[in-house]
Structure 1
Amino acid sequence: MTGHRERQVVVGQAVLPVELTPDAISPLRFGAVTRNAHPIHYDSEFARSEGLAGPVVMAQLHGCLFHRAAAEFAGVGGQVREVGWRNRAPACAGDRLVVTGTVRSVDAVGGEITLDLVERCGSGEVACCRGRAVVVLG
């Protein structure tokens, strides 16, 4: 497919990585903005009582990273039409989160590009989330 800037996109093409390492305050702040005050996201003792290593990153923050990866792929003037993901493993404050992916399909008629996305945490062995996004290039 040819984009506005003559950008070629092909099935299997890589989505450039998007990274975030949330500190201990990030989940608390994100929770305040999204009105998610569950103590599992900011209270270490409570999180451990639930069998977790520490406060966990909330699902919507993972979704924001997926959206950011899709938006960066779409480029300036591009559109993210859809983002979906499924949480598969917890990520804690201090874990390095990296979203990568590949182009699944290119609709030459409608201009939509479907991306398969995965978020890995820590050393990269654990897939925290898997999902997809639909974009149109800018």
Structure 2
Amino acid sequence: MTTAPSHSAAVGQHIEPVVLQTDPVLLLRFGAATHNSHRIHYDHQYAGLEGLDAPVVMAQLHGTLFYRAAAVFAGGPRGVVSVGWRNRAPAYVGCELVVTGVVREIADGLVTLDLEERCGDGAPCAVGEAVVIGNAEPVC
């Protein structure tokens, strides 16, 4: 069932943050589910050979968190029209990821969100946007 946001959206409105504490087991399971077995996500020594300080979170996990933030705002996953993001810096396994956002535009029944993801220490990891249905009627 799709439901509209439980509130009226307004330009400049902040969305509810989405938080995820990453850990090696979470990354291993996410990698298995997405068929991503690249060693930079679990092998500390190999990550170092690639110029990284430690194993890193998969790019797709950042997108998943952006999708989750949009779905929470939209009142459910069916309210999400599109999600896009660009990774800006590595997020190391073990960090807390926080996605925040703000309503950029409301037009033709759609709400565009500007999204940003930061590590728990405040370092920016990814930026993006999502479009959600602003006044969705329940769908059975």
Under a length normalisation based on structure 2, what TM-score does the superposition of the two structures give?
0.88
Counterpart in 1 of 2:106?
106
Identity of aligned residues (%): 56
Q: Does 1:127 align with 2:107?
A: no
Checking the alignment, whether the CA contact within 8 Å between 2:4 and 2:79 is kept in structure 1 is no
Q: Which letter does structure 2 place at the counterpart of 1:119?
A: E
Question: Where do 5+ consecutive residues of structure 2 fail to align?
Answer: none
Cα pair distance change 1:91/1:40, threshold 3 Å = same
Q: Does 1:36 align with 2:36?
A: yes
Counterpart in 2 of 1:115?
113
Q: Which letter does structure 2 place at the counterpart of 1:97?
A: L
Which structure's relative contact order is higher, taking Cα pairs within 8 Å and 6+ residues apart? 2
How large is the RMSD of aligned CA atoms in angstroms? 1.8
Q: Which letter does structure 1 place at the counterpart of 2:65?
A: L
Residues 67-78 of structure 1 mapped to structure 2, 5 A cutoff = 67-76=67-76
Under a length normalisation based on structure 1, what TM-score does the superposition of the two structures give?
0.90
Cα pair distance change 1:114/1:32, threshold 3 Å = same
Task: Give structure 1 regions of 4+ aligned residues with deviation exceeding 4 angstroms.
Answer: 3-6
CA distance in 1, matches of 2:113, 2:12: 9
What is the Cα deviation at residue 95 of structure 1?
Answer: 0.5
Cα pair distance change 1:78/1:104, threshold 3 Å = same
